[in-house]
Amino acid sequence: MRRWAHARLRTSFRISREGGAAAILTMGMAMSGHASQAAMAGDVELGRYLSSECTTCHGAAKSDSTIPPIHGLDQRHFVEVLKAYRAKTLPNAAMQNIAGRLHDDDIAALAAYFAAAKPR
């Protein structure tokens, strides 16, 4: 199984959450070492896999748009902003909803992917 496949499996269970079994499975996978260490450090391939929802809006974003471009964005800034949306300290209901579904390893992977992506 590819490195990101474990994180993808974990993400799909986390998003669908039917009962407590999904949360227990997610915790068990992370604690048992099945969660990819590369994803924790910002795995670009996992970021590419997760990026489709981001590029729906941000893919066509221009610098003069209300939706900011995120391709080529500094990793640290990307992580800070997504965590602020997740904590609901930045106002934007759509981004709060999306960031609320992401865990730290997902955010790190997305940050690595978009930092490496050529600005559009």
- Fill in the amino acid letter for 10: R
| Cβ count within 10 A of residue 59 | 14
**What's the pLDDT tens digit per position in 76-93?**
999 999 999 999 999 999
Contact 114/71 with Cβ under 8 angstroms?
Answer: yes
**What's the pLDDT tens digit per position in 34-70?**
444 443 458 999 999 999 999 999 988 887 889 999 9
- The domain total for the chain is 1
The helix (H) or strand (E) run that includes residue 106 is helix 104-116
Residue 57 sits in a domain whose CATH number is 1.10.760.10
Q: Which domain holds residue 34?
A: 3-116
| pTM metric for this prediction | 0.66
